[in-house]
């Protein structure tokens, strides 16, 4: 094993070896969210993997594309992997990584957690989505009903990676205190105020009010589309609620999925980026919009309250008031603020939060028969 490590103590007082900056390592990332899904979790994980590999790390992703899967009920874009008992464990044993990170709480994450616990192998997790609130919106059941699973899932992790202080405080209230900071970044070669606006913007009534993300009930897009504010509302993205919303809001412009420079142009050509979600833990799209010089309007909830300042956006329980206030923000200040989010810094935070397996733990991971 590469023994170049540094000592890192987390907030629970547990001290374990963590990765030294620049030390090549073998890392396994287990995630139920992966391509062809297009969302902030997938983009965060894929960009982090690319950055780690660029730095010389060996990264293996265990995702639904490796297994038979079926569409999630009410959300066919999300694929749920179906595996035989022990399959994920055997794959971890074959990879024999020097760190295991479980990114999501779905079937693959569950299987990896079970295997690591059975082998007494430490692992880290991340809290990417307000899962209880997400399920509450989908099922109509109270969010409190789902918190026991979240506590159960994350409690054995050596560290739980979180993006904001608001989420850190929320998890602490749930008794999860072994937390590590992992922020997000922006590809500044792509997202900038110079990105050309899409042809669809030509001739439409201003101001242009933009939403980017999954078109799904938990994103609260209806609140944006139904707000009484002049101009043209634009939705970029796809999802199970798109057909219904297009039918109910015929004056809105639905552009479907966009990526790269096309997506950057949608941001840069808009007057205000509207972030109506109340279930995100960060909101990667907000800092992408800001990097393109576009101010943000949002509700005062986790994510926006951790990112936005009065100079680059506005928050209100009345989204129309937030939009109106955001229009007064200076676009140059927005661009400068967005440029402060670096994927290099975010990936270093991820790397520092990982737990390096001790020699006996590596032996246990790869030598013990899989369940």
How many independent structural domains does the chain possess? 2
Q: What percent of the chain has pLDDT over 90?
A: 73
What's the rounded Cα separation, in Å, for the pair 122 and 100? 8
> What crossing angle do the helices spanning 131-139 and 147-154 adopt, rounded to 10°?
150
**190: in domain:** no
Let me know whether 146 and 266 are in one domain: no
Q: Does any domain span residue 242?
A: yes
Quick one: pLDDT band at residue 16, thresholds 50, 70, 90? low
Same-domain status, 44 and 159: yes
User: 120-152: per-residue pLDDT in tens?
Assistant: 999 999 998 887 787 777 778 888 899 999 999
Cβ 157 vs Cβ 120: under 8 Å? no
- Domain membership flag for residue 193: no
Q: What percent of the chain has pLDDT over 70?
A: 89
- 145 assigned to some structural domain: yes
> Over the Cα atoms of the chain, what is R_g?
21
Same structural domain, 156 and 245: no
| pLDDT tens track for 89-103 | 999 999 999 999 999
Domain housing 35: 5-184+345-367
pTM: 0.84
Distance CA(286)–CA(296), nearest Å, equals 7
Question: Does 41 share its domain with 94?
Answer: yes
- DSSP letter at 214? -
Where residue 263 sits, what CATH number does that domain have?
Answer: 3.40.50.2000
């Amino acid at each position: 094993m590469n023994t170049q490590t540094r000592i890192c103590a987390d907030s629970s007082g547990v001290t374990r070896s963590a990765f030294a900056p620049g030390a090549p390592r073998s890392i396994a990332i287990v995630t139920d969210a992966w391509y062809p899904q297009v969302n902030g979790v997938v983009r965060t994980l894929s960009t982090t993997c690319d950055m780690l590999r660029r730095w010389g790390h060996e990264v293996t992703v265990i995702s639904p594309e490796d297994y038979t899967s079926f569409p999630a009920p009410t959300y066919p874009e999300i694929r749920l992997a179906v595996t035989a008992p022990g399959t994920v464990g055997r794959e971890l044993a074959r990879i024999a990584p020097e760190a295991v990170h479980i990114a999501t709480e779905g079937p693959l994450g569950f299987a990896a957690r079970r295997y690591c616990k059975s082998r007494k192998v430490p692992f880290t997790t991340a809290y990417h989505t307000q899962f209880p609130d997400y399920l509450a919106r989908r099922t109509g059941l109270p969010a409190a009903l789902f918190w026991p699973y979240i506590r159960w899932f994350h409690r054995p992790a050596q560290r739980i990676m979180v993006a904001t202080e608001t989420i850190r405080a929320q998890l602490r209230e749930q008794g999860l205190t072994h937390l590590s900071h992992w922020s997000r970044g922006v590809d500044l070669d792509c997202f900038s105020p110079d990105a050309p606006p899409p042809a669809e913007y030509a001739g439409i009534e201003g101001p242009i009010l933009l939403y980017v993300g999954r078109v799904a009930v938990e994103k609260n897009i209806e609140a944006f589309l139904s707000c009484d504010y002049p101009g043209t509302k634009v939705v970029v993205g796809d999802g199970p609620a798109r057909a219904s919303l297009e039918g109910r809001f015929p004056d809105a412009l639905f552009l479907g999925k966009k990526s790269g420079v096309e997506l950057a142009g949608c941001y840069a050509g808009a007057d205000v980026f509207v972030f109506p979600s109340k279930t995100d833990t960060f909101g990667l799209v907000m800092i992408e919009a800001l990097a393109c010089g576009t101010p943000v309007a949002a509700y005062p909830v986790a994510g926006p309250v951790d990112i936005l300042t009065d100079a680059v956006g506005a928050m209100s329980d009345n989204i129309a008031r937030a939009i109106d206030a955001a229009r007064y923000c200076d676009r140059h200040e927005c661009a400068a603020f967005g440029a402060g989010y670096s994927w290099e810094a975010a990936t270093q935070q991820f790397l520092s939060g990982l737990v390096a397996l001790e020699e006996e733990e590596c032996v246990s991971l790869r030598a013990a028969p899989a369940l």
